[in-house]
Amino acid sequence: MNIVRIVSSFGFYVFRILAIAYLVTGLYAGFALMMGSPLAAPVQSDSRFEIYYPFSQVPFLLGENSTAFVVEMLLGISLYGVFFWLLSNVFSTFRQPKLFTQQGIAHLTWFYRLNFLVPLAVLLLLSVVSSVEQIMVMLVVLHGLLGVFALFMAAIFKQGVHLQNEQDLYI
């Protein structure tokens, strides 16, 4: 159990930091694109844009100057921020002294819901505003598989909570 705690603590901190970085990047990119100069500027005769690091002229994000690309980029960064946040919650479940808890079930439920629904919804949205590449379909399938594992884990946790509650009544 000790190794599980070490790995889950490591996973929790890594993915929580990653989540914050992605969410802040998503917010900053959206803000910079709305504000324009001096945070972002068009390059190569308006066909591409550059977003700079705050308070500098060093390029941070580069992209195609089209609505479809901007939507794709902002959605991708922000939703991966949410994904990493929920993943860090799943890791935090395994750090607790008591493994089977209602909170653990809630974390797993949110995680499998996100993995089942959001990639599919994004794929549908992108098929309307832009073109769908094969790698996106593969990502949806991979997230779906992750969702299936989280669903199974949530079922195990539900059974665990039930057994634990029963066990608590043996004194």
Interacting residue ranges for other proteins, rule: CB under 8 A: 166, 169-171
Write down the least CB distance from residue 165 to other proteins, Å: 10
Q: Which amino acid is at 28?
A: Y
Closer residue to other proteins, CB minimum distance, 5 or 162: 162
Write down the least CB distance from residue 95 to other proteins, Å: 25
Write down the least CB distance from residue 160 to other proteins, Å: 17
Closer residue to other proteins, CB minimum distance, 47 or 159: 159
Residues 6+ apart with CB under 8 A from 53: 59, 60
| CA–CA separation, 72 and 94 (whole Å) | 33
Helix axes 2-35, 67-93, angle to 10 degrees: 160
Closer residue to other proteins, CB minimum distance, 37 or 167: 167
Write down the least CB distance from residue 103 to other proteins, Å: 21
Closer residue to other proteins, CB minimum distance, 47 or 165: 165
Q: Cα dihedral sign for 157, 161, 166, 167?
A: positive
Q: What is the DSSP letter of 51?
A: E
Write down the least CB distance from residue 102 to other proteins, Å: 19
| CA–CA separation, 170 and 130 (whole Å) | 60
Closer residue to other proteins, CB minimum distance, 55 or 170: 170
DSSP assignments along 128-157, one per residue: HHSPPPHHHHHHHHHHHHHHHHHHHHHHHH
